[in-house]
Amino acid sequence: MSGVSSVSSSDFRQIAIRTEAGKAERLFRAAVSAFCSLTRPSRREIAQLEDLTLPLFDEVSVESRRYVAAALSECEYAPTALVRRLAEEPVEVAAPLLTRSNALSDIDLIALIGRHGLPHARAIARRKELNPTIADLIRALERPALVKTRPPETVTKLAPKPEPATEADAASSVPGEAAENARRRLRSMMRPADDSADVNAFLGQPAYVKLRETALTGNAAFFQTALADALEIDFATARSVTGQSGYAALLAALRALDLSEDRAFLIAVAVYPGEFPHPQAIRLFLDRYRLLHREAALDKVRAWKTESLSLAIHGNSSDAAGAEHQPSNSDQASSSLKAS
């Protein structure tokens, strides 16, 4: 029949693709809408929804994802896996879940802030009952200069003026003293001048607050000083704890301080942000933290202290032996007289 236009096989494929895409959109929305109408869904129904929607996730439009995120944000028993997947979307899609969903735990929220930064953090800040620790983290992101950087001349005023070194000072110096002097200088820089409270909000606070605030400044030396104070170890040891490529040593230090999981993770992600690129890495950290017995962590800290003391004693012995072998001025004069 001449009136009927011919349709190629490629045209049929395009029609099929459009039909399948539309089917995925309708199925995605309809499944979530039906689920949200359930008063109290069973675990089986939650699992069924995840099995149905997650494979379709990459095929549906941004509008459908936004629709589903808004619907699930009001759902008391929303499927956790689907909510977490939607929460990783740009804030334009994820905002309703970040603001309201009960399916996101505190650890989920901290991880989302770590991966997505201020846009997600600002949405999370609108939650009605937000963990104070997370609220502090968001405030720190909004105002990164918790410890204000003063001009060089101001810092010089805060730090004690160095006195000229004498031979007696050189003779009395012991290994590690330079590090401790640096540590004292850091403290003086962190101390408000003339009782002004604009430098450090964390002075006089519990150990955790000092660790958290210094970790969030991004200044390694500030955090190492706070860690040395909290564990009563020297600055060099604290620096070695955070100077490693992984967080194993820091994990032991935080466990020795008996911090809760969320507090320990917040500090760890601030010090080692690259170690937590995905939820599995966060789960591994939490599992390792739970399995590490506090007494074992305390033993680790005691070992650090013992090693530091041993090095100091060994250094003192070496210095004393060197002093004994060094000829005094009188000996040198006597020998020169004999030679003459």
User: How confident is the model at residue 167, as a pLDDT?
Assistant: 41
User: How confident is the model at residue 255, as a pLDDT?
Assistant: 93
Instruction: Identify whether 71 is part of a domain.
Output: yes
Residues 249 and 138 in one domain: no
Q: Which domain holds residue 82?
A: 15-142
Residues 190 and 298 in one domain: yes
Residues 191 and 66 in one domain: no
User: How confident is the model at residue 118, as a pLDDT?
Assistant: 86
Nearest alpha-carbon partner for 59 in 97, 22, 88, 10: 22
Instruction: Identify whether 54 is part of a domain.
Output: yes
Q: Return mean pLDDT, the chain.
A: 75
Residues 86 and 192 in one domain: no
* Count of the separate structural domains present in the chain: 2
User: How confident is the model at residue 317, as a pLDDT?
Assistant: 54
Residues 137 and 253 in one domain: no
Residues 123 and 187 in one domain: no
What's the rounded mean pLDDT across residues 159-183?
Answer: 45
pLDDT at 266 exceeding the cut of 50: yes
User: How confident is the model at residue 35, as a pLDDT?
Assistant: 92
User: How confident is the model at residue 172, as a pLDDT?
Assistant: 39
Measure the CA–CA gap between 225 and 206, rounded to whole angstroms.
14
User: How confident is the model at residue 192, as a pLDDT?
Assistant: 41
How many angstroms separate the Cα of 26 from the Cα of each of 20, 74, 83, 289, 296? 10, 20, 19, 44, 55
Residues 220 and 125 in one domain: no
pLDDT at 150 exceeding the cut of 90: no
User: How confident is the model at residue 330, as a pLDDT?
Assistant: 46
pLDDT classification of 110: cutoffs 50, 70, 90: confident
pLDDT at 10 exceeding the cut of 70: no
Instruction: Identify whether 337 is part of a domain.
Output: no
Instruction: Identify whether 3 is part of a domain.
Output: no
User: How confident is the model at residue 120, as a pLDDT?
Assistant: 92
Residues contacting 11, CB < 8 A, separation 6+: none
pLDDT classification of 178: cutoffs 50, 70, 90: low
pLDDT digits 0-9 by tens, 281-292: 888 898 899 999
What's the rounded mean pLDDT across residues 244-264?
Answer: 91
How many angstroms separate the Cα of 11 from the Cα of each of 5, 8, 119, 133, 304? 12, 5, 43, 57, 72
pLDDT at 134 exceeding the cut of 50: yes
Measure the CA–CA gap between 104 and 75, rounded to whole angstroms.
12
Instruction: Identify whether 230 is part of a domain.
Output: yes
For helices 261-271 and 106-116, give the axis angle rounded to 10 degrees: 10
At 306, phi and psi to the nearest 5?
-65, -45
**Which of 60-64, 139-143, 282-286 is predicted least confidently?**
139-143
User: How confident is the model at residue 11, as a pLDDT?
Assistant: 42
Instruction: Identify whether 6 is part of a domain.
Output: no
Instruction: Identify whether 150 is part of a domain.
Output: no
pLDDT classification of 93: cutoffs 50, 70, 90: very high
Instruction: Identify whether 332 is part of a domain.
Output: no
What's the rounded mean pLDDT across residues 12-19?
Answer: 42
Residues 234 and 311 in one domain: yes
| b/e 142-179 (16+ beta carbons within 10 angstroms → b) | eeeebbeeeeeeeeeebeeeeeeeeeeeeeeeebbeeb
pLDDT at 144 exceeding the cut of 50: yes
> Can you read off the two tokens belonging to residue 136?
């502090």
Query: Which has more confidence, 239 or 7?
Result: 239
Residues 85 and 210 in one domain: no
pLDDT digits 0-9 by tens, 219-230: 888 898 889 989
User: How confident is the model at residue 195, as a pLDDT?
Assistant: 38
Residues 245 and 115 in one domain: no
User: How confident is the model at residue 149, as a pLDDT?
Assistant: 39
Residues 138 and 183 in one domain: no
